[in-house]
A and B are shown apart, each in its own frame.
Chain A
């Protein structure tokens, strides 16, 4: 018996009551960022009103409290993703920051000719840091091709793997296509040639249960703001031994053990990777977001979301000249589409006039757009607080927009 009631849950998200151009907001841009529940918003307020102090240094009461809350956040998040220790949780600015950390720190240990394997559906954040690394260290970037249906070419993947492959860095759920990649298979294969694996979970942490130990990945990154937390905070999970074996990314306060002008020694992970005063309020509020998720019947929430995604696809596929970009059998409730020759920006503009927020453009996946030979798409990306009624309204608005533009 499901205890997930969408209308109840919507009350936790004040922004969902907003009117846009005089019409009720229909927020289908969750892939870009999620909305925040009151619990998270008030946690930020409470922190600044009552608890604000710097962490890890002060001897005074408030600093002690702030440090405790910050470290509790680490513990809570470690437990949510099944890490074996809170020390495996590094707070970052977000997914991009997490990937750059590993690209730099792991990159320092790589040699000329070592290979990094990514996929053709990566966000620019999981492409450019590796290109920078390749320029810096002479490593080689290889790319798993994407098939017409928006899944990865797994045969090509197996051929691309070799003992030169030092790292597979792959997206769990495509932000553009919604494709859920077969992580179990990818990780097992990569491990068989001794490669490390980093998972970009920016688009999966809010949609799927994740357990890093079951997955067996070495690193996993995500952003707080896409999982109902604030912006400017994210998580880099890394296996503890591995994190401790890597050189630091940035230098500064908090990450040091002893500093002299002759030689400086560093903290162990995770503090080694948290130079400077961290985003304390962000970490605590992100932890509150996970606390909120735990308070829901999460399995039913995810199931509700998948049903919505299927309902959306089913109701859109028969619209005239409708083309889905990405039709993988396994997808999250994210749908990219084009309608005939209509420019995505035009559709996005008219949907906005009707109170509907979607994303248009290349979604920071330009190579994927080249793969499909399109300039961009319209993307509807759902969250568990969306409803079937919103989808019905969306379809009506979409048909109206298409009519105006045809």
Chain B
């Protein structure tokens, strides 16, 4: 089982091969297309993170002391970045989810997607994943 930081480093390594923004975004868009969808009935208000422009839904399940996330969005680039976040944070312990710093987003040059004006719901998504971790910390 890889740790959060091992996965982050893996992603940074993968992204270092892209030579320009087009390759990078092509990859993110492909990830977005591959991300398993949530069922329509799972897109409920309690799973919804309001991002103003693109909507993001997160489903959380706990098994064997680990949190498992699935998520969806109506915007494909948002979905691609979500897929990276899920790869990093899903199947990890609440403790690790809460305490590990997410540095890969900055390192792969996607920091701009986390600016509050982006209105893509990603900041809300990260907050949600972290708070799900917190919620399950003491269980």
Contacts and interface: CB of A to CB of B under 8 A. Distances in A.
Interface of A: 21, 342-346, 349-350, 353, 360-361, 375-376, 400, 404-405
Interface stretch (B60-68, B71-79, B89-97, B123-131): B71-79
Given A343-B54, A349-B113, A353-B21, 11 more contacts: A342-B76, A343-B76, A343-B78, A345-B54, A345-B77, A345-B78, A346-B29, A353-B25, A360-B53, A361-B119, A404-B22
A343 B74 contact: yes
A404 B75 contact: no
Given A376-B53, A404-B29, A405-B76, A345 B21 contact: no
Given A361-B53, A361-B119, A345 B26 contact: no
22 contacts: A343-B76, A343-B78, A345-B53, A345-B75, A345-B78, A345-B119, A345-B120, A346-B75, A346-B76, A346-B78, A349-B113, A350-B77, A353-B22, A360-B53, A361-B52, A361-B53, A361-B119, A375-B74, A376-B53, A404-B22, A404-B26, A405-B29
Nearest to B21: A353
Nearest to A376: B53
Given A343-B54, A346-B75, A361-B52, A21 B22 contact: no
Nearest to B121: A345
Instruction: Classify the interface of chain B: helix, strand, loop or mixed.
Output: helix
A404 B24 CA distance: 11
Contacts of B119: 345, 361
Nearest to B76: A346
Given A21-B21, A361-B119, A349 B77 contact: yes
A399 to B, nearest CB: 13
B78 to A, nearest CB: 7
B54 A404 contact: no
A404 B22 CA distance: 8
Contacts of B26: 404
Contacts of A405: 29, 76
Interface in B84-139: 113, 119-120
B52 to A, nearest CB: 7
Contacts of A353: 21-22, 25
Nearest to A360: B53
B53 A344 contact: yes
Contacts of A346: 29, 75-78
A360 B75 CA distance: 12
B57 to A, nearest CB: 14
A375 B119 CA distance: 14
B55 to A, nearest CB: 8
Contacts of B53: 344-345, 360-361, 376
Interface string B6-35: 000000000000000110011001000000
A209 B18 CA distance: 50
Contacts of A345: 53-54, 75, 77-78, 119-120
Nearest to B33: A405
A403 to B, nearest CB: 10
A350 B112 CA distance: 12
A255 B54 CA distance: 45
Nearest to A348: B53
A405 B26 CA distance: 8
Contacts of B22: 353, 400, 404
Sort A-B residue pairs by CB-CB distance and give the 8 closest, nearest first: A343-B75, A345-B75, A361-B53, A345-B53, A353-B21, A345-B54, A346-B77, A346-B75
Nearest to A343: B75
Contacts of A360: 53
A218 to B, nearest CB: 35
Q: Which of A343, A345, A361, A405 has the most CB of B within 10 A?
A: A345
Q: Which of B52, B74, B76, B78 has the most CB of A within 10 A?
A: B76
A360 B21 CA distance: 20
A400 B25 CA distance: 12
A404 B120 contact: no
Contacts of A344: 53
A121 to B, nearest CB: 20
Q: Which of B75, B113, B119 has the most CB of A within 10 A?
A: B75
A350 B76 contact: no
Contacts of A21: 21
A2 B26 CA distance: 45
